[in-house]
Amino acid sequence: MTDQNVKDKVQKTQKINGVRGMNDLLPADAAQWAHLEHVLRDLTRAYGYEFLRTPIVEATAVFQRGIGEVTDIVEKEMYSFEDRLNGEHLTLRPEGTAALVRSVIENNLIYEGPKRLWYTGPMFRHERPQRGRYRQFHQFGIEALGFAGPDIDAEIILMGQRLWDELGLKGVRLEINSLGQAPERAEHRAALVTYFEKNKAQLDEDSQRRLITNPLRILDSKNPEMQALIEGAPKLLDFLGEESLKHFNAVQALLKANNIPCKINPRLVRGLDYYNLTVFEWVTEELGAQGTIAGGGRYDPLIERMGGKAAPACGWAMGMERVLELMKVSGSLPEAQAQCDIFVLHQGGETLTAAMIIAERLRSAGIDTILFCPPDGQSASFKSQMKKADSSGAAFAVIIGPDELAKNEAQLKDLRGTGEQKSVPLDDVLGAAIDALVGSSE
């Protein structure tokens, strides 16, 4: 072979890795995700929320308008590209709300009145990958559209608390704040600018820029060197008028009546631009730097900004990876499940045919069944098949060898309890299997 040939061959056989910060869901973790998804489905049903799915790709403008230009997401985290056929500006969705609102407007969904909705799926943000922070991650979120009162703010928070309880999460704290309305924020903003301008030398580069574009977001900075400065800044809560305070107090009273403790965090401003009134986050100390498992609030101006008829709205979103990680830390992940109820063994040829028919019969009756298939496509010893049966977690094995087949029989073997093995007529395997499974689960 020439050097070039060798090079080509190496290149063709070199392994190709996944994209950094984007993870595979492996079979070993699939049951945990299925469990979480199951609990989420039950939760949304319990409160009358309906599912809505949007595409993963949207026009970039959806997020520029729906999230706001001066945010971490739109400034630096989006996966945006031009459609190579028509030059459209497209983006892999970095969050769910803007796209959902786009869909609700486009499909006239709140024309007839308010709607309770939920969504889930992968989101994409170009961040530095680390524990709890990925470039593809998964969110679950709920949005209540068309409701103006504090009752719905309280309802969506109750849903969160119920969810953490269902999942057995420990040490989750609710932090809450009110961002008031635009005129109140304008007054506060003026006070903030005066304060930060006096201390301009202590602002990092991002914050210097935000001092002009969106000073409220300086409060959201994660830079540890700026925390003392932020601590001393004028508080938005002190600028709230009567109506905003009334809403905020009503939410807190409803939470209190439902025994939901919460802490007011005057620095909580959230990442998106169009929040107003109630904002909140659920945080934990158990996950290191990525301690926010979910967050949300009211975003009354958004629907109109996205081109719809003005309507109030609120919701929250959670990071599923962070929640699963916290379940792990809390020791509340479900135990690994058996792959099947029954594992069927055979010796190829006629015994395979009989085994396959039996396996289908079992599945038709709702019994999860794995049929042994030899890796070499020929056959394998019963001993090695037994090992597979054992590690599958199956409760029973059905064994059909040439001797059994000659007598029109199969062996039914208990793999977990007594280890007992008995002959059953081939036609009775289903009945015997049901009796055995019912007996073993009693």
Taking CB positions, which residue lies at the least distance from ligand ATP? 319
Q: Exposure of 113 by Cβ count < 10 A (0-12 exposed, 13-18 middle, 19+ buried)? A: exposed
Q: Which stretch binds ligand ATP (CB under 6 A): 142-150, 291-299, 373-381, 408-416?
A: 291-299
Q: Does 217 bind ligand ATP (CB under 6 A)?
A: no
Q: What are the respective helix, strand and coil percentages of the chain, to the nearest 5?
A: 45, 20, 35
Q: How far is the CB of 367 from ligand ATP (least distance, A)?
A: 38
Contact pick of 102, 210, 298, 322 for ligand ATP (by CB under 6 A): 322
Q: Which stretch binds ligand ATP (CB under 6 A): 101-109, 161-169, 233-241, 288-296?
A: 288-296
Nearest residue (CB) to ligand ATP, 168 versus 417 = 168
Residue 292, C-beta contacts closer than 8 angstroms, at least 6 positions apart? 281, 282, 283, 319, 322
Q: Does 426 bind ligand ATP (CB under 6 A)?
A: no
Contact pick of 292, 330, 332, 339 for ligand ATP (by CB under 6 A): 292
Q: Does 175 bind ligand ATP (CB under 6 A)?
A: no
Phi, psi for residue 322 in degrees, rounded to 5: -65, -40
Binding to ligand ATP by CB under 6 A, coded x per residue (else -) over 229-258, reads ------------------------------
Buried b (16+ CB within 10 A) or exposed e, 183-211: ebbebbbebbeeebeeeeeebeebbeebb
**In angstroms, rounded to a whole number, what is the distance separating the alpha carbons of residues 405 and 154?**
65
Nearest residue (CB) to ligand ATP, 131 versus 246 = 131
Are 273 and 291 in contact, with CB atoms under 8 Å apart?
A: no
Nearest residue (CB) to ligand ATP, 69 versus 238 = 69
Q: Does 134 bind ligand ATP (CB under 6 A)?
A: yes
Binding to ligand ATP by CB under 6 A, coded x per residue (else -) over 24-63, reads ----------------------------------------
Are 114 and 149 in contact, with CB atoms under 8 Å apart?
A: no
Rg (CA), the chain: 29
CA quadruple 301, 156, 320, 267: dihedral, nearest 10: 60
Q: Does 295 bind ligand ATP (CB under 6 A)?
A: yes
Contact pick of 121, 271, 301, 348 for ligand ATP (by CB under 6 A): 271
Q: Exposure of 118 by Cβ count < 10 A (0-12 exposed, 13-18 middle, 19+ buried)? A: buried
Nearest residue (CB) to ligand ATP, 60 versus 136 = 136
**In angstroms, rounded to a whole number, what is the distance separating the alpha carbons of residues 210 and 188?**
15
Phi, psi for residue 78 in degrees, rounded to 5: -85, 145
DSSP 384-419: HHHHHHHHTT-SEEEEE-HHHHHTTEEEEEESSSS-
Are 192 and 216 in contact, with CB atoms under 8 Å apart?
A: yes
Question: E-strand spans in 146-275?
Answer: 173-178, 263-264
Q: How far is the CB of 385 from ligand ATP (least distance, A)?
A: 42
Q: Which stretch binds ligand ATP (CB under 6 A): 126-134, 209-217, 332-340, 360-368?
A: 126-134
Q: How far is the CB of 189 from ligand ATP (least distance, A)?
A: 21
Residue with tokens 């959230």: 270
Q: Does 226 bind ligand ATP (CB under 6 A)?
A: no
Contact pick of 58, 95, 153, 300 for ligand ATP (by CB under 6 A): 95
Nearest residue (CB) to ligand ATP, 74 versus 362 = 74
The tokens of 27 are what?
């079979």
Q: Does 303 bind ligand ATP (CB under 6 A)?
A: no
Contact pick of 319, 340, 396, 400 for ligand ATP (by CB under 6 A): 319
> Which spans of this chain sit near ligand ATP (rule: CB under 6 A)?
95, 125, 127, 132-134, 137, 139, 271, 290, 292-295, 317-319, 321-322
